[in-house]
């Protein structure tokens, strides 16, 4: 296997792994808080669901980026393209914006959503406002995704 292909695969794997790990941690924070609320008030499941699920979107962004890498290098088409070391490094570096921003934002989004769940449990009318705060953290993951997509699209394989 050529080193360029290895670099490209590492980039895609980092995007998937780091975003997925961050989402798991973030959902863990929010889910733990929601379960505490549900132990007392199970009828609030619907209110809590969006706040628990929100940190999971970064995992989707990382998967999308990894999928784009697999398409670019030909793994999904059945014909793997020869990748030079410099192109492989470009692909790896192109995956870093979403890998890093997705990992960090998912964790912090989980913390914001956990706090929102605590607020929504006492004041259900504030649940949408709490959701907006969680969505603000999402902005930086979206920017990381867009940057990675633009960078990947600029690479000629």
> Per residue in 104-155, pLDDT tens?
999 999 999 999 999 999 998 888 999 999 999 999 999 999 999 999 999 9
Give pLDDT, residue 1: 64
Spatial distance between the Cα atoms of 82 and 67, rounded to a whole number of angstroms? 18
Q: Name the domain count of the chain.
A: 1
Domain ranges, residue 60: 3-153
For residue range 103-115, list pLDDT tens digits in order: 999 999 999 999 9
Higher local confidence (pLDDT), 121 or 64: 64
CATH number, position 80? 1.20.120.610
- Reading phi first (left if > 0) and then psi (alpha if -120 to 50, else beta), residue 78 is in left
**Model confidence at 37: pLDDT above 80:** yes
| Among 156, 71, 57, CA closest to 105 | 57
């Amino acid at each position: 296997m050529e080193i360029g292909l290895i670099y490209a695969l590492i980039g895609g794997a980092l995007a998937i792994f780091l975003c997925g790990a961050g989402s798991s941690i973030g959902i863990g924070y929010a889910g733990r808080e929601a379960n505490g609320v549900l132990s007392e008030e199970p009828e609030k499941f619907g209110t809590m669901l969006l706040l628990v699920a929100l940190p999971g979107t970064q995992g989707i962004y990382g998967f999308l980026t990894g999928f784009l890498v697999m398409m670019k290098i030909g793994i999904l088409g059945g014909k793997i393209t020869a990748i030079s070391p410099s192109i492989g490094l470009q692909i790896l570096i192109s995956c870093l914006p979403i890998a890093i921003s997705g990992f960090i934002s998912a964790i912090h989004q989980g913390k914001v959503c956990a706090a929102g769940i605590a607020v929504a449990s006492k004041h259900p009318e504030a649940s949408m406002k709490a959701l907006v705060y969680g969505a603000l953290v999402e902005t930086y993951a979206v920017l990381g995704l867009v940057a990675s997509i633009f960078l990947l699209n600029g690479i000629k394989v």
